[in-house]
Each structure stands twice: as structure tokens, then as C-alpha cells.
Amino acid sequence: MAISSVGFACRSFSPVRTLQSHCLWKIRFNTVAAAIETMDESDGFATDSDRQDKVSDEPRDREWKQLNSKDLGLSSSMIAKSTRKVLNGLKSKGHDVYLVGGCVRDLILKRTPKDFDILTSAELREVVRTFPRCEIVGRRFPICHVHIGDDLIEVSSFSTSAQNSSRNTRTECKESSGSDGDEDCIRLNNCLQRDFTINGLMFDPYAKVVYDYLGGMEDIRKAKVRTVIHAGTSFHQDCARILRAIRIAARLGFRMSKETAHFIKNLSLLVQRLDKGRILMEMNYMLAYGSAEASLRLLWKFGILEILLPIQAAYLARSGFRRRDKRTNMLLSLFANLDKLLAPDRPCHSSLWIAILAFHKALADKPRSPIVVAAFSLAVHNCGDILEAVEITKKITRPHDKSFFELVEPEENLDFQTLLDEVMDLDASIEDALNQMTDAYFISKAMSAYPQAPYSDLVFIPLQLYLRAGRIFDCVKNEETRIGFEAKQGSKIEYGSLNSGYFPEIRHVFARVVFDTVFPLNLSQEL
């Protein structure tokens, strides 16, 4: 993917300094190795020979650059109003403030950031005194959560970054610069603690400068995800970076650098060390923010899907889906249609994508008529009114997608009672699928037909979320359970309600995704 819209013919404000002459860079990266020339893309699972660390030397010299933010198309109007209030509040107190991380990357790419992160010269206690609704969170890496209206802005401090860096690093930086107050060294020290070069950009919206110490702009131009330090070391330091690399590449359509891809594949088992809550958070970022299909494809490509979602990995393996396959299937189509309705600033509640996974598993285990699927999804939408669902189903004229083995040819003149029984059976199957997806025994058996796959009995969906996903379908069970359920009014998606998990909104989007997958509009247009 080439990024042609980003203005890279940027003028430099100050003399360019090369990191090759900087002793800090030599300390950090003098043993760095690059990736293998070609990453193994076999269609099977990774073998022992795949896991050999075949790397060759690659220079990581980078230039320090100060780029004019106007040349990059950045303006203060692109920053969320709540974030601007925090920036202005800290700046008015005489503190330096920067936007950092993925939000800078996204603004340069003309994408809507998921959120905005601020870095300041103020101590965290000073940040708390500046804003009435603010608290310090985190023990190992404390930051401030500033609440502006309904928005939450994360603010970190240079002082925290300095505490987390080694004394030798700070000393070498000062000695090389000849000044204890070298602002470049302070900024560089913070950037070196980040995960990927494209997340290591710093934007001063008042000086209108973007600082690039790690070659992040070059990697944006090349559409590449690259770790700041050697990938093997980086992933061992924080194995959550493996999942973040997948998430970023999926969302932006970027590719991994050879070294990064190599170590994601060979160190994929490290993700099992993560806290289950952290895994859920990263999976939610992948599946609930508009890049679910691409995320699932990359998780499969790098051998991580069989660790995190073995049931879905077994489905892909059974269907002959290859690591580099460009084809689609019902699972990927469901999430592709979900992606069309979501965005980084318009996510859904995690119960929705869990419900879609369970729905698909139920169909994959027992294929059903598209009429049954349509009646079920409509019943979910209108809170269990089967009579209305059946009446609407009878009026469907759009053809169903016959490429999905999960759908069988519909019976002619299907009577109401038979259709009702089929709908109830599908509902029971989804409940059973949810049970299996949250049961370590069933998960551990999912990939038993593929002994070369890594063993996993990982359950990261907590009980409360499992119960919430099940409640999405409670309205379908019988007439009595419909009491107290509320159907959504209108067709417009209310994204605040969708993100908070408001059941009528969740049911509405679920029904839209299922219906558009089973009865895609483009088939009607072709006929």
C-alpha cells in the first residue's frame, strides 16, 4: 500500500541530526538484526523449521526531523474539542504539551483517531490540580484520566517517562547533547519507550511542529509496521505488542516489516502470558472498531487465531482456508458487514461481536435454510415477535448467497409451526455455541484434528460478558420472555447506545449484519 496523500516534501525547521552519530542510539541498537529475506507463508501450521531465527544485519540509522505540521495537512480543527480543552488548560499554566502516539499517525493519514493521548512537561499532580474531574490511574506506569464531558483523555508526564528509562540512557543523552536541558533528548527518550515507529511521532500544535526521531514518517510512507527496537526484544518486553501490531496493520491496511512479521509468527505463543482482561481489550479493539475482517485474516495468517479463538480457527482449517487466501467465507463476510457500520470513533459493545461468533458457530455446526436465518434475525430485531418476523420473511425477494455451506436450500411452502420450531432450534444452538466458546474443555478440543496447531484452552470472555451476549437472544425463546423487552424505533444507528451495550441497538445491528450477509444487495443488482 502506498500512501500518496501524505505531504512528505516537508521543510525541516532545524538542522537534521543523524542518530548514527548519537551515542544513545549506539547503546540501544548496536546488536539489532533485521528480518529474514522472505517470511515463510506456508499454508499449514508453523513447524520447527519455521521457528528458526534467521536474521541478517540491517542498519537502523534514522534522522531527527522537525516537520512543519501545516505541510502535513495538520490543523487544530482536526483535534477533538475536548482534547483541545485539555491542551489549552495545560498550556495556559506554562507547560509544554504534545499529542503523541497513534492519534498523530492517524491525523497525518487523514483518519479519525480512536482517541487522543497527551504528553506534558507537567507533573501528574499538577494535571490533577488543573482539571476538576481528573484522577491518576496505574501503578507501574501512572497516567492521568481527564474527564471532559463524556470524553476521557489520557495525559502522561515526561517525568514518568524519565523514571521508566534507565539512568545510563539519560546520562548518555545529556553527554551527547552537551546540555542537561536538551529538549530533543527528553522527547527522544519518550519516543524510545514506544512500541512502533509510526506511533513514535510527537505533535506540538502550538509550535506547529511534528517531531520524528525514529523514522516514523518514512514507515508511514511505506505503509509499514516496524518495532522501535529489535522485534524479538520488543515482543519479549511486552507481548501485547504482538496483538497491537496485528490491530494497527489491520486497521490501516499496512504490512509488517520483515523482521516484525518474522517475530510475530515465531513468538505468537507469548500472547498466552497476557492477562485475560488485556486479551479481551485487544480483541475488542480488533473486532469492535471497524477492522474485524482484516484482523481475523491477520490473526489466522500469523498463527494466533488458533490460540485466541480455536473454534473459529478450526472452522477456517476445515473449510480449507489458506494462510494467504484472498477468498471469503461466511465468518469473514459477517464481520465485513459489521465493519461497514463501525469506525474507530463509532465502536460497538463487545457483546455484539461475541454474539456474531456464537451465531456463526451455530450455523457452521448445523447449516440451515436462509428463510430460517432471516426469520430468526428479524425476531431478534423486533424482540421475539415471531408472527411479524414470519410475515416479513415471506416478502423477501432478494436471493441468498449460495456460496456459504452454512446455508441450505429452503424448503417450499414451509408451514408456520415448522419454521417456528427451526427458529427455536437455532436459538438453542446459539446458546450452546456460547457455552462452548466459554468452556475451556470444548475450546481445547476445537483444534484436536490438527495436532500441529498449538494447544490452547484459553477462555478470555468473562462470565458477565457471556451472560450479556446471551441476553441478546433471550427475547426469541417464547412469548412470555418478550415481556419487558423493548424494540428499537427507526433505522438510524445510535452509536452512543451501541457502544454502551443498549440491547435494542445491539439487536438492531445484529439483525442488519446477518440479513446483509445472507441476502447481500449486490446479488440482486447482478440479477
Query: Is pLDDT of 181 > 70?
Result: no
Average pLDDT in the 34-48 region? 37
Alpha carbon distances (Å) from 319 to 264, 330, 337, 406, 421: 25, 11, 20, 11, 28
Question: Who contacts 48 (Cβ-Cβ below 8 Å, separation ≥6)?
Answer: none
Average pLDDT in the 183-210 region? 92
On average, the pLDDT of the chain sits at 84
pLDDT tens per residue across span 115-137? 999 999 999 999 999 999 999 99
Q: Which has more confidence, 302 or 160?
A: 302
Give the least confident one: 164-178, 211-225, 463-477: 164-178
Q: How far is it, in rounded angstroms, from Cα 331 to Cα 357? A: 8
Average pLDDT in the 296-313 region? 97
Average pLDDT in the 400-409 region? 94
Q: Which CATH class is domain 63-164+179-220?
A: alpha beta
Average pLDDT in the 60-78 region? 85
Kindly list the domain boundaries of the chain, sorted by start residue: 63-164+179-220, 222-273, 275-526
Q: Which has more confidence, 526 or 227?
A: 227
DSSP for 471-512 reads: HTTGGGS-TGGGTT--PPPSSS--HHHHHHT-HHHHHHHHHH
Q: How far is it, in rounded angstroms, from Cα 376 to Cα 450? A: 33
Q: How far is it, in rounded angstroms, from Cα 84 to Cα 90? A: 10
Query: Is pLDDT of 42 > 60?
Result: no
pLDDT band with cut points at 50, 70 and 90 for residue 64: confident
Average pLDDT in the 275-303 region? 97
pLDDT of residue 292: 98
Q: What is the dihedral of CA 67, 69, 70, 72, to 10 degrees?
A: 80
Q: Which has more confidence, 367 or 324?
A: 367
Query: Is pLDDT of 522 > 90?
Result: no
pLDDT tens per residue across span 332-381? 999 999 999 999 999 999 999 999 999 999 999 999 999 999 999 999 99
Structural contact between residues 486 and 474, judged by C-beta atoms closer than 8 angstroms? no
Q: How far is it, in rounded angstroms, from Cα 305 to Cα 201? A: 30
Residue with cell 546488536: 31
Residue 463's SS3 state is: helix
Structural contact between residues 91 and 97, judged by C-beta atoms closer than 8 angstroms? yes
The structure's pTM equals: 0.85
Residue type, 86: V
pLDDT band with cut points at 50, 70 and 90 for residue 417: confident
Q: Which has more confidence, 145 or 173?
A: 145
pLDDT band with cut points at 50, 70 and 90 for residue 382: confident
Give the least confident one: 15-24, 277-286, 509-518: 15-24
**Alpha helix (H) residue ranges in 253-369:** 258-266, 276-287, 292-301, 305-308, 310-318, 330-339, 350-365
The closest of 18, 190, 235 to 96, measured between CA atoms, is 190
pLDDT tens per residue across span 457-497? 999 999 999 999 999 999 887 655 555 677 788 889 999 99
Alpha carbon distances (Å) from 373 to 220, 417, 453: 43, 15, 32
pLDDT tens per residue across span 81-115? 999 999 999 999 999 999 999 999 999 999 999 89
Q: How far is it, in rounded angstroms, from Cα 454 to Cα 429? A: 27
Structural contact between residues 462 and 280, judged by C-beta atoms closer than 8 angstroms? yes
Share of the chain above pLDDT 90, in %: 67
Q: How far is it, in rounded angstroms, from Cα 251 to Cα 248? A: 5
Give the least confident one: 10-19, 112-121, 240-249, 405-414: 10-19
DSSP for 58-74 reads: -----EEEEEETTTTT-
Angle at 103 between CA 100 and CA 107, to 5 degrees: 120
Give the least confident one: 43-47, 113-117, 303-307, 501-505: 43-47
pLDDT of residue 398: 87
pLDDT band with cut points at 50, 70 and 90 for residue 414: confident
Structural contact between residues 401 and 523, judged by C-beta atoms closer than 8 angstroms? yes
pLDDT of residue 173: 54
pLDDT of residue 163: 59
Query: Is pLDDT of 389 > 60?
Result: yes
Sheet hosting strand 117-120, strand order edge to edge: 17-18, 63-68, 209-212, 201-204, 97-100, 117-120, 151-157, 143-148, 134-137
Alpha carbon distances (Å) from 520 to 292, 410, 414, 452, 517: 19, 17, 22, 37, 5
Structural contact between residues 427 and 473, judged by C-beta atoms closer than 8 angstroms? yes
